[in-house]
Amino acid sequence: MEGVACASFTSSASKSLSFSSLSQSSIITLRQNYHNNTLKSKSPRKLVIRASSGSSSGSVVTLLDYGAGNVRSVRNAIRYLGYEIEDVRTPKDILNADRLIFPGVGAFASAMDVLTKTGMAEALCAYIENDRPFLGICLGLQLLFESSEENGPVNGLGLIPGVVGRFNSLNGFRVPHIGWNALQIAKDSEILDDIGDRHVYFVHSYRAMPSNDNKEWVSSTCNYGDDFIASIRRGNVHAVQFHPEKSGDVGLSVLRRFLNPKSQGSKKPTQGKASKLAKRVIACLDVRTNDKGDLVVTKGDQYDVREQTKENEVRNLGKPVELAGQYYKDGADEVSFLNITGFRDFPLGDLPMLQVLRHTSENVFVPLTVGGGIRDFTDANGRYYSSLEVASEYFRSGADKISIGSDAVYAAEEYIKTKVKTGKSSLEQISKVYGNQAVVVSIDPRRVYVQGPNDVQFKTIRVPKPGPNGEEYAWYQCTVNGGREGRSIGAYELAKVVEELGAGEILLNCIDCDGQGKGFDIDLIKLISDAVSIPVIASSGAGAVEHFSEVFMKTNASAALAAGIFHRKEVPIQSVKAHLLKEGIEVRI
């Protein structure tokens, strides 16, 4: 590999430290400490480590997991395809691998820190330089480059020329780049053979750019404001910026082709029409325990989930795992679980919810978000759990993103009052460790009519239809605890502050519209999606396919979420997508 060399690593003292000996908290600490590191000068040198011949059987895949984020999804996808997983515990395991998958998650600096301290970095370089079968995913691609600007500059493995930089949100593209996007295949990559014109799932804020120096590596690019590297290939070495384990059938085929390249002939790619970032259609499952103690999917009318009968039971619309599986098959681009009583029940005590995630992620290969109860908590025995621990448990159980509701409101109120970022709120802590693309803030606003914009200190809009007393203006009051308590902050103010505190996406509900089937609150969604540069998911009120096209045509929402119409089987997800395509709105098919 001329022209590229592994960065110099101070691994001799740390080689004895194995991945398995690192606890989750020590990895988190390593990550946090590494943020202060600066780019060290590189001294390329010849690698002396040589791979020994692989000893694993044909159905075994070696996985390099350093304990950050949702590697469970990759594990599930590999197992779903019929392979067994052997975890890397020492650098030698890398050198002995027949096929190595490296799903990088979390931040660049912390990942490099762990790789360097454990001696894995050097082994990885040797493995790749010997052209052994390798598949890097997301950060697993970025780490192959010389350096990254993420909390840096920070040295990478230095195998591919180039610097990993942040997307520029100034040109109107929302950062993080979240969603299903199209590839431009640059050269034969084999593992991409089934993709053709279909979308694959990306979630990242940083990317590597194609250049003359790295063009021999680039197998595909993706356009999002500018053309960035979507995949690389050289001999047996592959890496993808997108997530095959989250890209549905087409993503599974990428993994299958990597795991068993010889078994499949070249296939004509399935035809699609992917050309750019697709608008997402998300199925949402509000989950809670009913009065009999069963965990059920429920659905409210303006957040009231009880039947209007004498028994006043919690509405039961089905079982969470089954419904999530069904929506995946029906073409949902994401599935969200909201543990709607999480504000009063501690989620780590709520093991069924973790079980739901674990089971769902075994068969659902699109992104999963989970929300409800993410906050610091002290249990009856005085044991303190940080919100970061709660989130980590959700990630370990299969979540790709966590969603914070009430706690984000308190954090924003505090920040507005003190103008100080303490770094201690759940939002700040979780986004620092897992990246802001992993943190959604769920807003539960209610419309409040006023006579004029000067009546309140919050951003108002002129309403197209006057309020009950002829009011011409309204503001959107944030609530906490499932809409039970109104707070002194508007949705507009909250959205702007949570973006600053580290949110990567906003789930924008509307209590007035929830369950009404009369369409999304276009005024609210326009107000918020114009105010922030992170993606906004429009939620509440979908009752017909036209409501989806309306929200995408009239606002800058990146995704639309619905619950009731899907649960009641009034409108299948595929009908929504067919309608959007007919209206010229790009969606994943």
Q: Is 524 in the site for ligand 1PR (CB under 6 A)?
A: no
Looking at the Cβ atoms of 195 and 340, the one nearer to ligand 1PR is 340
Two structure tokens written together for 348: 């780590």
- Nearest CA to 293 out of 345, 337, 348, 362 is that of 345
Q: Which stretch binds ligand 1PR (CB under 6 A): 15-23, 186-194, 369-377, 394-402?
A: 369-377
Q: Is 398 in the site for ligand 1PR (CB under 6 A)?
A: no
Beta carbon of residue 188, minimum distance to ligand 1PR (angstroms, whole number): 44
Is 523 part of the annotated catalytic residue set?
Answer: no
Beta carbon of residue 548, minimum distance to ligand 1PR (angstroms, whole number): 11
Instruction: Give the list of residues 6+ apart from residue 261 with CB closer than 8 angstroms, or none.
Output: 190, 191
Evaluate the omega torsion of the peptide bond into residue 153 and state whether it is cis, within 30 degrees of 0: yes
Q: Is 406 in the site for ligand 1PR (CB under 6 A)?
A: yes
Tell me which residue has tokens 């979507």.
230
Q: Is 405 in the site for ligand 1PR (CB under 6 A)?
A: yes
Instruction: Give the list of residues 6+ apart from residue 52 with CB closer than 8 angstroms, or none.
Output: 95, 96
Looking at the Cβ atoms of 122 and 333, the one nearer to ligand 1PR is 333
Q: Which stretch binds ligand 1PR (CB under 6 A): 149-157, 195-203, 298-306, 315-323?
A: 298-306
Is 238 part of the annotated catalytic residue set?
Answer: no
Q: Is 520 in the site for ligand 1PR (CB under 6 A)?
A: no
- Nearest CA to 332 out of 278, 373, 411, 260 is that of 278
Two structure tokens written together for 79: 């197992």
Looking at the Cβ atoms of 124 and 390, the one nearer to ligand 1PR is 390
Spot the catalytic one: 444, 505, 521, 586. Answer: 444
Q: Which stretch binds ligand 1PR (CB under 6 A): 70-78, 158-166, 397-405, 451-459?
A: 397-405
Is 499 part of the annotated catalytic residue set?
Answer: no
Is 284 part of the annotated catalytic residue set?
Answer: no
Residue 113, phi then psi, degrees to nearest 5: -60, -45
- Nearest CA to 341 out of 368, 314, 308, 381 is that of 314
Size, binding site for ligand 1PR by CB under 6 A: 33
Q: Is 479 in the site for ligand 1PR (CB under 6 A)?
A: no
Looking at the Cβ atoms of 91 and 564, the one nearer to ligand 1PR is 564
Spot the catalytic one: 245, 428, 493, 505. Answer: 245
Q: Which stretch binds ligand 1PR (CB under 6 A): 47-55, 124-132, 470-478, 560-568?
A: 560-568
**How far is 280 from 282, CA to CA, in rounded Å?**
6
Degrees (nearest 5) of the Cα angle 12, 100, 263?
A: 160
Beta carbon of residue 381, minimum distance to ligand 1PR (angstroms, whole number): 22
Q: Which of 152, 162, 367, 482 binds ligand 1PR (CB under 6 A)?
A: 482
Q: Is 542 in the site for ligand 1PR (CB under 6 A)?
A: yes
Spot the catalytic one: 6, 93, 122, 138. Answer: 138
Q: Is 299 in the site for ligand 1PR (CB under 6 A)?
A: yes
Q: Which of 403, 425, 556, 558 binds ligand 1PR (CB under 6 A)?
A: 403
**How far is 456 from 348, CA to CA, in rounded Å?**
39
Beta carbon of residue 454, minimum distance to ligand 1PR (angstroms, whole number): 30
Q: Is 503 in the site for ligand 1PR (CB under 6 A)?
A: no
Measured CA distances, 474 to 113, 255, 412, 479 (Å):
50, 50, 21, 16
Instruction: Give the list of residues 6+ apart from residue 14 with CB closer than 8 angstroms, or none.
Output: 116, 117, 118, 119
Two structure tokens written together for 459: 């951003």
Instruction: Give the list of residues 6+ apart from residue 189 with CB closer than 8 angstroms, or none.
Output: 219, 220, 231, 233, 238
Residues 334-363 that bind ligand 1PR (CB under 6 A): 338, 340, 342-343
Contact 71, 104 (CB under 8 A): no
DSSP code, position 195: T
Coil vs helix vs strand at 583: coil
Looking at the Cβ atoms of 51 and 353, the one nearer to ligand 1PR is 353
Instruction: Give the list of residues 6+ apart from residue 465 with CB closer than 8 angstroms, or none.
Output: none
Q: Which of 104, 331, 515, 535 binds ligand 1PR (CB under 6 A)?
A: 515
Q: Please give the positions annotated as active site.
A: 138, 243, 245, 286, 444
Which stretches of the chain bind ligand 1PR, using CB under 6 A?
284, 286, 299-300, 303, 305, 338, 340, 342-343, 371-374, 403-407, 442, 444, 482-483, 509, 514-515, 539-542, 562-564
